[in-house]
Structure 1
């Protein structure tokens, strides 16, 4: 059983998303768009699946540093727990800040900023490669003497705290905002307006931004997203697009030095012969429109059902991953990731997605049956698969076209 607070908090996350949806209904506000919210979930699922493998590397590295280089042994009491939390958040601040200020690192973090909405589902949208560029920022805690279990626990709590700050339904919170990160502060962080870029990097606490000069008060409502929108509902493309663009730039450089500067300078830096630094453009709010490609409404219920089914499978995997062999874990991971790629293709009404979805519905029930050690009766999985095939046959027509309505 996985006792990671991030995993244990999943039901609370979706309860809060439900609360936001109720608020959306009664306030007649457009807080959520189905295509964007499902893609946020897809990116979160992908990050959790890859994290199940990468965490072995990061936690093992931390443990090795702790065992061989720890200067002290920090006891865990109520007051040292608070100090450790401050230490974890300070390390998070610098890891997060450098993820914005170093182009290579930004490729791992950019996924979290791609959504052009701002709601609780955005908190689930995380980059699968971010851990590569951030885990070593926490190693000073191992050298100080914070044991691995305590570090993992506090880091998870720090992550859980940050879920509730991804909302527009909570305003400013008075004195609380002088010390803690809040929805108002974090809305600024997700803004693509020039005045809001690279501000408010703290996790739990905002004191680091005030101390190190990266604090910005929320003034006018931010425009959310990134300066170069990714314009896709495919979670794999969302994770890779920045690196694809960077590779294209690196092919054009005339020296190794310029290549390294592209990788380790701020995002947007280019040598003069490639156009020079690409600054943050102003946002013309009167002309700005969100990317909003989505399928006809008849597909919405089907997509919601399939995403919930995949989410259930992911949760089962995360809670029970210790029971699987490495081959079983790999097969489950591939199955889940392929599923959300196909579903993302259906949102975009790609022809290949409909063909592969039918194949997925034939294979997935058998895989789920064997990989869950028959905990789920095969007839239930079979009914789900057959019902899904019939459902898709009923709603799929040759003339179906994606709805390209764009909402500001």
Structure 2
């Protein structure tokens, strides 16, 4: 008979890898900042860097405060199914691949629907691309946990799930850089590289909504969203904020959504707006 998992079981056996890695990542970002300044590459802007750092630090401490809620939801779904997948090295790899598949779709919906774009836009609203960009994680992104609950329903152990999830998040750090250019073909055919992810952050017309992969680029190749890097990316978003206020950078699209919903007299249309492409928010808005 399947053994039920408690919150204490997970909290005591799933180390907080991101918390431990945070000082190392900040140190590497500062090192990149220094070399960028020394070499006059202008990859960093001081106010933008401080905004990214502020957003990232709040995100880390926020996750510490609410992780019991997130863990609890994953555990609950794991406990309601009568089956489980044994914990071995190969099922851990299988869990990571399955998680990456769902991360692809979570990321894709994060660009293709207004609701999830509001939870993701913070990561894109910088006109610079550097290691500190990986710190820009929205304080509302936890909503996307709904995309990962199928991992629990499949029977993967919650501890394995959370370790795989943290490794996937940490993988994102190194791909946010201009210093690493094209990698060998066999690597770039399977894995997401800095070259792939620069495309994803670009607002060049043919770069928009491409390369959603988290660790593996194979999903983009399979589902028609792959785009190789063929020109320098222009970073930022189409409706680019002209400030460095961390709170506004996190919540500006939420404000746009609520203003648009408030102007919509039909409540059904107002709710539908949440699941329409982000362009629907700005049809009547003049971009300054």
TM-score over 0.5 (shorter chain): yes
SS in 2 for 1:21: helix
- Structure 2 CA distance, aligned partners of 1:223 and 1:30? 14
Written as runs of structure 1 = structure 2, the 5 A alignment for 1:113-124 is 113-124=124-135
Structure number with greater CO (CA < 8 Å, separation at least 6) is 2
1:55 and 2:67 matched:
yes
Question: Per-residue CA shift, 1:226-280, capped at 9, x if unaligned?
Answer: 1111222221111221111111111222322321232111101159xx64xx8xx
- Structure 1 CA distance, aligned partners of 2:251 and 2:90? 42
Residue in structure 1 matched with residue 254 of structure 2 by the alignment: 243
Written as runs of structure 1 = structure 2, the 5 A alignment for 1:258-297 is 258-269=269-280, 275=284
- Structure 2 CA distance, aligned partners of 1:12 and 1:183? 19
For residue 216 of structure 1, report the CA deviation from its aligned partner.
Answer: 0.9
SS in 2 for 1:201: coil
Specify which of 169, 172, 180 is matched with residue 162 of structure 1: 172
For residue 51 of structure 1, report the CA deviation from its aligned partner.
Answer: 2.0
TM score, norm. by length of structure 2: 0.89
Specify which of 217, 223, 232 is matched with residue 228 of structure 2: 217
Q: Which has the larger radius of gyration?
A: 1
- Structure 2 CA distance, aligned partners of 1:250 and 1:165? 36
Which sections of structure 2, spanning at least 5 residues, go unmatched? 1-11
Residue in structure 2 matched with residue 30 of structure 1 by the alignment: 42
Which sections of structure 1, spanning at least 5 residues, go unmatched? 282-408
Q: How many residues align?
A: 273
Specify which of 238, 263, 272 is matched with residue 252 of structure 1: 263
Residue in structure 2 matched with residue 66 of structure 1 by the alignment: 78
Q: Any conservation in 1 of the 2:211–2:217 contact (CA below 8 Å)?
A: yes
For residue 26 of structure 1, report the CA deviation from its aligned partner.
Answer: 4.3
SS in 1 for 2:263: coil
SS in 2 for 1:264: coil
Written as runs of structure 1 = structure 2, the 5 A alignment for 1:83-232 is 83-132=94-143, 134-175=144-185, 176-232=187-243
Residue in structure 2 matched with residue 20 of structure 1 by the alignment: 32
Question: Per-residue CA shift, 1:144-188, capped at 9, x if unaligned?
Answer: 111111101110001001100000011010221000001000001
Residue in structure 2 matched with residue 39 of structure 1 by the alignment: 51
Aligned Cα root-mean-square deviation (Å): 1.9
TM score, norm. by length of structure 1: 0.64
- Structure 2 CA distance, aligned partners of 1:34 and 1:25? 10
SS in 2 for 1:237: helix
- Structure 1 CA distance, aligned partners of 2:145 and 2:117? 14
